[in-house]
Amino acid sequence: MKAAPAGLEVHRIAGALGAEISEVDLSQPLSDQGVADIRRALLDHLVIFFLSQHLTPAQLVAFGRRFGDLEGHEFVLGMPDYPEVLELIKEPDEGGFNFGGDWHTDVTFRERPSMGTILYGKEIPPFGGDTLWANQYLAYDTLSPALQRLLGSLRAVHSAEEAFGAGGIAQLYRSQLRSMRIKTDGSVPEAVDHPVIRTHPETGRKCLFVNKGFTVRFADMTGAESEGLLQYLFEHSVRPEFTCRFRWTAGSVAFWDNRCTQHFALNDYHGHRRHMQRITVAGDRPA
């Protein structure tokens, strides 16, 4: 990990990735230098956290726009007045299912997956509901040279079918998360393929770019041919030593680099309400 950018107080929370940033009020306009410092911290630590924030949807959107164009979601409607803001809500009486409750990288079923995601904790349960992130630079770096060479020659197919298709878990989204504005009708975008090893466009570092949520097979291979190696990579990519874990409090903000991380929202707060607001910054095509 690199030293903190000048002007920011940065505290690492784990050895693999993750840092808290102090003394920044995201409700106020940021200077160009402040934006540059935050971007540097994001590139260095992969996921950064701001505590004790008090943000309106307009302020959340204004913060996100300092880092790029914002985008919506194919399967979840945003707020009526702020379509970029998704409300991720689980009610106390909703069952054993939550949004984002498995390891994944956001929307890799797109040709241009999100650059980054910003998540704001509005209402936090008294226990549980933590989020984990995994460093995909480390996932690549710890592979053997032979496997790095093999994977560097491969592409993988990413699809939203299992998560949001007619036969996928979209039915659970609609039936069990009634306070979320799920809009899927069973149709999903055409599958896309991305390099298995991605080069980060800003750092130039290589990272593993497959995930259990959306990667279905290697390009030009069948699912059966792909299964064994993909399952190994899914397990390898989220080894405990590659991860950090964040305990949410009301007003916390997490901002993660979607190009080189995976994340997992834990579902262990049954009987309590959890309400988050999410925006995403548009990205580029992986290369």
pTM: 0.94
To the query of whether residue 106 is one of the catalytic residues in this protein, the response is yes
Catalytic residue among 106, 155, 158, 257: 106
Catalytic residue among 73, 110, 200, 278: 278
102 vs 131: CA distance, rounded Å: 10
Catalytic residue among 104, 110, 158, 200: 104
Give the pLDDT confidence score for residue 3 in this predicted structure. Answer: 45
Give the pLDDT confidence score for residue 2 in this predicted structure. Answer: 47
Pair 68, 282: CB distance under 8 Å: yes
For the chain, domains (ranges, CATH) are 9-281 (3.60.130.10)
Give the pLDDT confidence score for residue 134 in this predicted structure. Answer: 98
Give 177-213 as a DSSP string.
Answer: -TTS-B---S--PPPEEEESEEEPTTT--EEE---TT
To the query of whether residue 11 is one of the catalytic residues in this protein, the response is no
Report H helices in the chain. Answer: 32-45, 57-65, 136-141, 145-152, 161-164, 170-176, 223-236
Give the pLDDT confidence score for residue 21 in this predicted structure. Answer: 98
pLDDT along the chain (287 residues), means of 10: 62 98 95 96 98 98 98 91 95 78 95 98 96 98 98 97 71 63 75 98 98 97 98 98 98 98 95 96 98
